[in-house]
């Protein structure tokens, strides 16, 4: 059984960098062919795909967020990490990490193979 667990601060101040880690168990993040994604859902809005890091280590980001995000991995810990720079209150959302067997991004969580329970991040001073 594959399990994903998000971790990180629940509260971040505006202009700071948000850092979230996804710890994966039951599968290796280097197993082909999977794409390890970050998705978020702002309050009252739909899901938004943020980006992914592929089993090869290659990254692909949402064009609307590309200038502010980085996704990296630590294969020794079987974790991948999202960094979102210069956050604003509009970045307040529930953030999910998920595994996808398709390289095409999706905003629909049910299209992913597995996903974490999500973690609430609030951007506020």
Q: Is 53 exposed, middle or buried (0-12, 13-18, 19+ CB in 10 A)?
A: buried
DSSP 33: T
**What does DSSP say about strands 11-12 and 119-123: parallel, antiparallel, or unpaired?**
parallel
> Would you tell me how many other CB atoms lie within 10 Å of the CB of residue 24?
23
Task: Name which residue leads in pLDDT, 31 or 118.
Answer: 118
Share of the chain above pLDDT 90, in %: 95
Contacting residues for 44 by C-beta, under 8 A, at least 6 apart: none
* pLDDT > 90? residue 109: no
How high does pLDDT run on average in the chain?
A: 96
């Amino acid at each position: 059984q594959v399990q994903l667990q998000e971790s990180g601060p629940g509260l971040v101040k505006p202009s700071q960098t948000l850092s979230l880690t996804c710890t994966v168990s039951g599968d290796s993040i280097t197993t082909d062919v999977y794409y390890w994604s970050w998705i978020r859902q702002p309050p009252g809005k739909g899901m938004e795909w943020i980006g992914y890091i592929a089993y090869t280590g290659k990254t692909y980001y949402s064009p609307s967020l590309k200038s502010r995000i980085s996704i990296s991995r630590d294969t020794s810990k079987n974790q991948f990490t999202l960094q979102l720079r210069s956050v604003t209150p509009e970045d307040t959302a529930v953030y999910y990490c998920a595994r996808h067997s398709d390289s095409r991004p999706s905003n629909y969580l049910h299209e992913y193979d597995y996903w974490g329970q999500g973690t609430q991040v609030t951007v506020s001073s």
